[in-house]
Amino acid sequence: MKNSLTIICILLTILFQAQMHRFIYELQYKMDSTESGYEKLNMILDITPKEVKFYGRGLATTDSLNKKFGMNSSYTDMTGQVVKRKINSFDNENFINIKNGYYSFKTTDKINWTITDETKKVESYTLQKATTKFGGRNWTAWFCKDIPFNEGPFKLRGLPGLIFEVSDAGKNFIYHLVKSRELPELYSTEDFLESNFGNKAIPINEKQKHKLIMEFYNDPFAFERNNFNKANNNLKININGKEIHNVDELNTQTKSMQEVIRKYNNPIEIDKAMHYPK
């Protein structure tokens, strides 16, 4: 556990009714479940008196730089783990980038935990073990009753204490609490969570989400294809550093992109994974 002193401060500042508690988790995850290597990044859990939000730190960093330096940069969170909900609720609003659009959809994600008697010490903290099945995966969490928030990473919540560590049985997703902060004022996320740097989230349902994702898979370069169809033979398009001169070359890039999409089809809620045709 890193920066334990910052976490200890939680117990003191709770007495002073801080406007927002921010917990930062290190996430290790596999984009492809068959690989041994991990991607690694930090995720933010913000808890206010009314709401809980979970999102990648890259979103907040980009927003902060934009405001500080008058920039207009954007950032796309590819984890599929951007959510918000009311405090003490299992009803989540999910945010996702699909194609060139930004969307939100609602889900109810009730989690039933089995709390065991097993405990362990991590520095000065006593953590207790709990297990559950969620999103098609079996999860093991270690929570601390001394930190009185029944929250944790993503949608994994509902225990009588803050989750410090949680991972699925296959070790595809591993979270560790690494830092905490107390903010005297609410931190606005309207520019990067409810909206994605200028693109306000469009409400859809899960059926519409499925349709949009499949449309992208079937033709990930639809915009470029349309330009080819309209333009003369001198048109050149750059895709991932490669210059494309005609539709045949674009079709080759399309097949390559579809292979990548199928390869990295390992979402945290594996029971909702897309079934892509080959």
At 31 the pLDDT is 95
Q: How far is CA 2 from the centre of its chain?
A: 22
Q: What mean pLDDT comes out for the span 204-218?
A: 96
* 274 pLDDT higher than 90: yes
Segment 29-79, tens digit of pLDDT: 999 999 999 999 999 999 999 999 999 999 999 999 999 999 999 999 989
For the chain, what is the mean pLDDT? 91
What's the predicted TM-score (pTM) here?
0.91
Do 175 and 190 belong to one domain? yes
More confident residue, 113 or 239: 113
Q: What is the mean pLDDT of residues 165-191?
A: 95
- The percent of residues above 90 in pLDDT, for the chain, comes to 78
Structural domain of residue 95, as residue ranges?
A: 4-199
What is the pLDDT at residue 17?
Answer: 57
| Residue tagged 């920066």 (tokens) | 3
Give a yes or no: residue 277 inside a domain.
Answer: no
Q: Give the strand order in the sheet containing 39-47.
A: 114-122, 125-134, 137-144, 162-168, 173-183, 20-29, 39-47, 51-56, 82-86, 91-98, 101-108, 202-203
Query: Are residues 124 and 68 part of one domain?
Result: yes
Least confident window among 102-111, 122-131, 173-182, 230-239? 230-239
Question: Which one is predicted more confidently, 278 or 104?
Answer: 104
Q: Are residues 94 and 222 in the same domain?
A: no
- 278: in domain: no
pLDDT one-digit tens code per residue, 258-267: 999 999 999 9
Overall average pLDDT of the 164-183 stretch:
96
Q: Is the pLDDT of residue 232 over 90?
A: no
Q: Could you tell me if 145 and 251 lie in one domain?
A: no
Looking at residue 5, what is its pLDDT? 43
Specify whether 101 is located in the same domain as 185: yes
Last residue of a domain, one of 167, 183, 199: 199
- Parallel/antiparallel/unpaired status of strands 173-183 and 51-56: unpaired
Expressed in percent and rounded to 5, the helix, strand and coil fractions of the chain are: 25, 35, 40
Instruction: Give the model's confidence band at 201: pLDDT under 50 very low, under 70 low, under 90 confident, else very high.
Output: very high
**What is the share, in percent, of the chain residues with pLDDT greater than 70?**
91
pLDDT of residue 84 exceeding 50: yes
Evaluate whether residue 84 is within a structural domain.
yes
Same domain, 255 and 152: no
Are residues 104 and 72 located together in one domain of the fold? yes
Of 199, 222, 240, the last residue of a domain is 199
Q: Judge whether residue 205 has pLDDT over 90.
A: yes
Whether the pLDDT of residue 269 is over 50: the answer is: yes
Residues 89 and 190 occupy one common structural domain: yes
Task: Give residue 12's pLDDT band: very low, low, confident or very high (50, 70, 90).
Answer: very low
Whole-angstrom distance, CA of residue 127 vs CA of residue 143:
5
Domain stops at, among 176, 199, 222: 199
